[in-house]
Amino acid sequence: MIETTRRVWAEIDLEAFKKNLAVVSELSPNSKIFPVVKSNAYGHGVEQIAKSALESPARVTGFAVATIQEAIELHGLKLGRPILLMNGFVNREELRLCMELNVEPVIHAYYQVEIALELMSLKPMDGAARFWVKMNSGMNRLGMSAEDCKKALFSFKSIPSLEIVFMTHLAYADDMDNPKSLSFTDKQLSRFMQAEEAVAQEFDNKLEVSISASAGILTVPRAHRDYVRPGVMLYGSSPLAKRDGQDLGLHSVMTLSSRLISINKVLAGEAIGYNATFVCDRDMRVGTVSIGYGDGYPRSAGNGTPVLVKTSSRVIRTQVIGRVSMDMITIDLSEIQDAQIDDEVVLWGRELGADEVAANADTIAYELFCKVTRRVPLTYV
């Protein structure tokens, strides 16, 4: 697509991604890194992001995805790194596929243990493999009880060439200044470490462990352990409740932009857009921008959601007024008299963090990134 025909686009800054990966390395210098690239690398393009990760000096040991389909796609890129399948498998066929593709499944329920033991009794492994045994330490989403984890770990230990990682997931590590968050996380870690201690001797105290995703990497150093699984922080957004990505030294990777396609004068007392959610309190200069929820811009972005307008001489902040439509939004240009048709409008990115936009839209940056649709071409710099 040539420059002059673009109505909306997302620029992906791979150097910013590498800088965020370096932050992970600095925070967890003794941990191996499994970047999370599920949901097409949070909407950033899994192929380019994964290859960029391998170009960095960070200790990228493998990659993590959610679904078997994502694992198949990532395997097809021939990156030469293990693939962690965080949702695990649901039947023997999926496990067999994992073994063929060097995909490392999370074992989060005892039925999976039974499937694995049955399959391996029928067909011994040709080479090395690795399972990640997951304990439910308080998230109550995926994971086994401590007792079932112990049984699984002891059963798998008897299988030659099978490596084991013991893991859990922190549910509330994003607000550690809050006593409730601190207490909840301490309880999770206590439960997990008790379970770890119960099996450590059987593994000669060499059982590898993974606990931390983005929030834990940033707030719980004692939970970094052997492997960390950074997700949204790699893309420049904060997983923490009260701090944005810039506060944490992270760099925006995706900049979503569109263009002004109309500028109108709207009189005081007139309403803007569907359902008259904004009524002009004065005569206003109103711009229409060629982006909407059909492109992934959130319909929940209400009056006051910030945007940036790039005129020929400056970049100036203004706001959404009126309801987001499928293909358009309207913005206040009353104080930007030099704005013209075809000027660029930044919806989020380097100069306007996705965390701030998400807060105005009553959502999180994760959702903003993942909902960018295929109408939006990605360009890499």
Closest listed residue to residue 254, CA positions, set 5, 14, 4, 24: 14
d(C-alpha 279, C-alpha 243), whole Å: 33
Predicted confidence (pLDDT) at residue 128 exceeds the cutoff of 90: no
Q: How far is CA 240 from the centre of its chain?
A: 13
Strand partners, 320: 331
pLDDT score at 97: 95
Comparing 202 with 106, the larger pLDDT belongs to 106
Per-residue pLDDT tens digits for 325-362: 999 999 999 999 999 999 999 999 999 999 999 999 99
pLDDT score at 1: 39
When pLDDT is averaged across residues 300-307 and rounded to a whole number, the result is 98
Q: What pLDDT band is residue 3 in, cutting at 50, 70 and 90?
A: low
d(C-alpha 209, C-alpha 213), whole Å: 13
C-alpha distances out from residue 179 to 11, 140, 175, 185, 225, Å: 39, 21, 9, 10, 24
d(C-alpha 256, C-alpha 151), whole Å: 49
d(C-alpha 274, C-alpha 30), whole Å: 54
Q: What pLDDT band is residue 205 in, cutting at 50, 70 and 90?
A: confident
d(C-alpha 139, C-alpha 145), whole Å: 12
Predicted confidence (pLDDT) at residue 193 exceeds the cutoff of 60: yes
Q: What pLDDT band is residue 161 in, cutting at 50, 70 and 90?
A: confident
When pLDDT is averaged across residues 143-158 and rounded to a whole number, the result is 96
State the catalytic residue, choosing from 18, 19, 38, 265: 38
8 A C-beta contact, residue 307 and residue 8: no
d(C-alpha 60, C-alpha 77), whole Å: 16
Q: What pLDDT band is residue 44 in, cutting at 50, 70 and 90?
A: very high
d(C-alpha 311, C-alpha 308), whole Å: 10
Phi, psi of 363 (to 5 degrees): -145, -160
State the catalytic residue, choosing from 51, 151, 274, 366: 274
Look-up of token digits 């150097």: 15
d(C-alpha 258, C-alpha 137), whole Å: 44
Alpha-helical segments (H) within the chain: 14-27, 38-43, 46-55, 68-76, 92-101, 110-122, 146-157, 179-200, 214-219, 354-360, 365-370
Pair of tokens at residue 137: 């330490």
Phi, psi of 226 (to 5 degrees): -80, -35
Question: 38 catalytic, yes or no?
Answer: yes
State whether residue 241 is helix, strand or coil: coil
Q: What pLDDT band is residue 4 in, cutting at 50, 70 and 90?
A: low
Backbone torsion region of residue 233, taken as left when φ is above 0, otherwise alpha when ψ lies between -120 and 50, otherwise beta: alpha
Percent of the chain with pLDDT over 70: 98
Task: Please report, for the chain, how many H helices and E strands are present, in that order.
Answer: 11, 18
8 A C-beta contact, residue 115 and residue 133: no
pLDDT score at 196: 97
Query: Domains along the chain?
Result: 14-235 (3.20.20.10), 254-380 (2.40.37.10)
Predicted confidence (pLDDT) at residue 2 exceeds the cutoff of 50: no
d(C-alpha 368, C-alpha 62), whole Å: 25
